[in-house]
Amino acid sequence: MATPSYVPDPLIEGFLDELWSTKGLSDNTLSAYRSDLLHFDAYLQQRQLSLLAAGRDVIQDYLGLRYDNGAAKSSSARLLSSLRRFYGFLLIRQLIGDDPMALIASPKLPRKLPDTLSEADVEALLAEPDGDDTLEGRDKAMLELLYATGLRVTELVGLTLEQISLRQGLVRITGKGGKERLVPMGEVAIDVVSRYLKLQRAALLVAGQSDVLFPSSRGRMMTRQTFWYRIKLYAQRAGISKALSPHTLRHAFATHLLNHGADLRVVQLLLGHSSLSTTQIYTHVANARLQALHAEHHPRG
């Protein structure tokens, strides 16, 4: 962060506290905002400026420096989002008179299609864990539930017993922004999770009682990094060579629903997207799949 004498502007933590208390943003999002603002603040201090004194020209100089250093468009777009939100916060608090971000345009980013798996790949992945083994039985239940519900990985690893109703076949999720949604599980996921609760969960609670639905081998809440490692392990064993991400099964859930005729707004509700435009990217994946099927099977494809 430039010099050992650097002292972060306290406005940054005040801004992040405000976001945490009013917007319910995830730790990862807050961490990204913090990183962006600290780097910008350090740059300003090197120029003997402050966050309150930074004008549009200074911000553009900083963006130009990042461009010269090879910063990716996606990284710059995230930085601009952080700065827009931060200076909007300062404007509302009347700590500045004008918004220096008002006339700064964001870089246009190509719409990136999410990585996903075919239905055959998903079947192979879900079949890989050994349902009779303690850890793999837990992982099998997690994978089945993830594909059946389209949860975010952070939502999955944080699930508690009270959030799931096997009798009703529903999972109650509090997602981004503190918004709650009910997601149906499906019969296969209900059966696999029921079996896991009967046969394996108690063996994982080595440290006593816990309300975590899928505890780690140490009886605590699993990290998303650990679960991501487990997904990659089963994908490798299943012979899946495609690039995967922690949200691969979430993407597959949405894409496969649309492939089978689900309404886009229903998929939006199930995924917990606040905007339909966020969900619409999956229609590109579904359309590409339909075009491929048409080309393969239609006599004049």
The residues carrying an active-site annotation are 152, 176, 247, 250, 273, 282
Q: What stretch of H or E contains 172?
A: strand 170-174
For residues 137 and 130, is the Cβ–Cβ distance under 8 A?
A: yes
Q: CA 214 to CA 140: how far, in whole Å?
A: 11
25 is written with which tokens?
A: 């943003």
Rounded to whole angstroms, the Cα distance separating 163 from 182 reads: 10
Residue 112's region, left for phi above 0, alpha for psi from -120 to 50, else beta, is beta
Alpha-carbon gap, residue 66 to 89, rounded angstroms: 24
DSSP code of residue 162? G
The alpha carbon dihedral of 275, 276, 280, 282 has a sign of positive
Residue 126, class by beta-carbon neighbours within 10 Å (0-12 exposed, 13-18 middle, 19+ buried)? buried
The C-alpha atoms of residue 249 and residue 122 are separated, in whole angstroms, by 8
Whole-angstrom distance, CA of residue 156 vs CA of residue 146: 7
User: How many angstroms separate the most distant Cα atoms in the chain?
Assistant: 71
* Nearest by Cα to 195 from 150, 134, 275: 134
